[in-house]
C-alpha cells in the first residue's frame, strides 16, 4: 500500500498521479519548467485556449483579498494556431499528460477548437463553460442545464478525446448542471471554477478591477468547493477533479474524501511554486502511514455518513 505512481484514469485520460495544475495558474508549462521537473505532474492543464487570440481585460487585473485573490485577466491567450505551433510541441516532448482547457465566446468557437485538437496527442479537453456567451447577451454557458447540455453534446460530436467539463459555482444548483453535462457526453467534471467577487478602492469609491468584477480563488473558497464536490459526487457516475483553495496535502485529502479522484492546484502556486512537485511524495508517505490506498480514501466522507 502507499503507491501513488500507478496510472490514474480520469474519464479515459491517464495520469501519473492525482495532482495537476489548474488552468490559468501554470501558463503553458514553460514558465515552471525552469524551476521544476514537469514530469512529476500527474498532468498539466494549460491556460485557456481560444480559437482566435484574446487580449484580455483592460485596467487592473488582479487584487489580493483575505485568504485569496481576485483575477480579471479575461482569459488572455495567443489563440489556437500559436498554441499548436509553439506550446503543444514543447509539452509533448515531455513524458507528460496534457489537458487543454478550451474557452470561447460562441458555441461554434468551442466546437472548432475541439475539432482541431481531436487529431493531436493531448490526453483530454477541459471545457470551461463559465465563459460569457456573446450570442446570449453575455450569460455564461454553464449557468443553464439546457445550454450546458447543448454545448457539451455539440463538442462531443466532433471529438473522441476525453471531455472534462469545468463547472461554474455561480449557479443555483450545480448538481443540475453536472447531470446535464454528464448526459451530454462528458467523461469527467472539474469543480469548481472561481466565484464572482468585487473589490472597491475606498480612496476613489470605484471598483478596483478594470472589469468591475473578478474570479475569487484561494483558501477562502475551499469549503465551498469541497461541499460542491461532495454534492455532485453523490449524483453522477463520472470522475470528479476537485479544485479550489488547495494549499497542502491536507486540503487535497478533503477533496479526495469528498469524492474527487484527482485535484488541481491553482493560486497556491504563486506563493509556493514547487508545491505540485512535493505533493505526490507527501501523499505516498501518508498512505503508507495510514496503511491505506487512494482508492479507499476517495469518497470516504460520503460512505461514513
- Write out the three cell numbers for 227: 461541499
> 141: which strand partners?
none
Annotated catalytic residue, options 22, 113, 129, 131: 131
Return phi, psi of residue 130, to 5°.
-90, 0
Radius of gyration of the chain (CA): 18
End-to-end alpha carbon distance in the chain? 25
Cell of 248: 497542502
Find all residues with CB under 8 Å of 299, minimum gap 6, and list them.
233, 257, 258, 259
- Coil, helix or strand at residue 133: strand
CA distances from 283 to 2, 45, 266 (A): 8, 20, 18
Three cell numbers written together for 88: 503543444
The grid cell for 153 is 453534446
Residue 131 falls in the annotated catalytic set: yes
- Sort strands 200-201 and 206-207 into parallel, antiparallel or unpaired: antiparallel
- The residues assigned a catalytic role are 131
Amino acid at each position: 500500500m502507499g503507491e501513488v505512481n500507478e496510472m490514474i484514469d480520469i474519464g479515459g485520460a491517464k495520469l501519473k498521479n492525482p495532482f495537476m495544475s489548474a488552468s490559468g495558474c501554470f501558463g503553458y508549462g514553460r514558465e515552471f519548467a525552469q524551476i521544476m521537473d514537469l514530469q512529476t505532474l500527474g498532468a498539466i492543464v494549460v491556460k485557456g485556449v481560444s480559437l482566435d487570440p484574446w487580449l484580455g481585460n483592460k485596467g487592473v487585473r488582479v487584487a489580493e483579498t483575505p485568504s485569496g485573490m481576485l483575477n480579471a485577466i479575461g482569459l488572455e491567450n495567443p489563440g489556437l494556431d500559436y498554441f499548436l505551433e509553439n506550446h503543444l510541441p514543447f509539452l509533448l516532448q515531455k513524458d507528460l499528460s496534457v489537458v487543454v482547457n478550451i474557452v470561447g465566446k460562441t458555441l461554434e468557437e468551442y466546437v472548432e477548437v475541439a475539432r482541431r485538437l481531436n487529431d493531436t496527442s493531448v490526453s483530454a479537453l477541459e471545457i470551461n463553460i463559465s465563459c460569457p456567451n456573446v450570442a446570449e447577451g453575455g450569460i455564461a454557458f454553464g449557468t443553464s442545464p439546457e445550454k450546458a447540455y447543448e454545448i457539451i453534446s455539440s463538442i462531443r460530436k466532433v471529438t473522441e478525446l476525453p471531455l472534462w467539463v469545468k463547472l461554474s459555482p455561480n449557479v443555483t444548483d450545480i448538481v443540475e448542471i453536472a447531470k446535464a453535462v454528464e448526459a451530454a457526453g462528458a467523461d469527467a467534471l472539474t469543480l469548481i471554477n472561481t466565484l464572482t467577487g468585487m473589490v472597491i478602492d475606498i480612496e476613489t469609491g470605484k471598483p478596483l478591477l478594470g472589469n468591475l468584477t473578478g474570479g475569487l480563488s484561494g483558501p477562502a473558497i475551499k469549503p465551498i468547493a469541497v461541499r460542491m464536490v461532495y454534492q455532485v459526487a453523490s449524483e453522477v457516475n463520472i470522475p470528479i477533479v476537485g479544485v479550489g483553495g488547495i494549499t497542502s496535502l491536507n486540503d487535497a485529502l478533503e477533496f479526495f474524501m469528498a469524492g474527487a479522484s484527482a485535484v488541481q492546484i491553482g493560486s497556491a502556486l504563486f506563493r509556493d511554486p514547487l508545491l505540485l512537485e512535493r505533493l505526490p511524495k507527501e501523499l505516498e508517505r501518508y498512505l503508507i502511514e495510514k496503511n491505506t490506498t487512494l482508492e479507499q480514501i476517495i469518497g470516504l466522507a460520503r460512505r461514513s455518513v
